[in-house]
Amino acid sequence: MASNSIGFRMEQFNGKTAVVTGAGSGIGRALATRCAGEGMRVALADVHEGRLNDLRTKLEGEGAQVLACTLDVSDAAAVSAFARQCCAELDVPDLLFNNAGILRIGEAWSHSPEDWQIILSINVLGVVHGLNAFVPPMLEAGKKAHIVNTGSVGSLVAAPAMAQYTAAKMAVRGITETLAHDLAAREALIDVSLLCPGPVLTSISDDLLGVEASSEEVDPADHLMVGQPDFITPEECADRVFRAIRERRFWIFTHPFNQYISDNTQAIVTGENPVYREVAFD
């Protein structure tokens, strides 16, 4: 997908404003840290108050201007209030990262309607609420900006025991592609990206593994999967995201799997029934 045809390249971030949801840990924390390192003002949102405050203290200690809000992204009114506070106290964002999300596994028929509501309200509606709250003031500001919605390899690949997560992340892909078309039709100065992380050393699966959440982020070097093939640190992920923003790329694959996507697409074109194959990264 081509970027907005207006054409610009966001090279400098110093003095600009970034919003990051799910900022307390993992990819969100690394993105927020990178934004602050680039000299940006940062608005942080996370449902875990302890981790959020830990990050705020760290970034403020390094000289960053920080707004931190304990926030459940499934609450539309709370996200709207956060957006108003951010625009008033910092500025209309130049970078918006709709990143908050959770992981759930299980066979497609094993989840209750309540379980479905939980994951969709966070992983899908959390993105929607972020867009509804921030895009109107971003459009009104009329300045160059970039929105990154966090999807997954699951935005393109259906895997066994991943019905909820796959459905949510495929929805995020559809929303994000449509957003790019809508902004291009308006000739807005806002680029859009879909982040599809591969294996990253984060705590997203801690609940499933019975790991109790702490107020401080766990060092990736202590992660259960450290040393396993293909895994990268959240900081490496953030590096790849910022490179893609500078290059105005819609698709951000931390781990490209072009041959796999090509083979799956060809299977659809030829009408083959789906057969799951483990993703092989290029």
- Write out the catalytic residue numbers: 165
| 3-class secondary structure, 92 | coil
Residue 227, token pair as written in the block: 């040393």
Q: Three-state DSSP class for 245?
A: helix
Closest CA to 278 of 173, 158, 172, 165: 158
In one-letter notation, the amino acid at residue 224 is L
Instruction: Express the helix, strand and coil content of the chain in percent, nearest 5 each.
Output: 45, 15, 40
Cross-strand partners of 8: none
> Which structure tokens are listed for 241?
């995201």
Strand ranges across the sheet with 251-253: 66-70, 41-46, 17-21, 95-98, 145-150, 190-196, 251-253
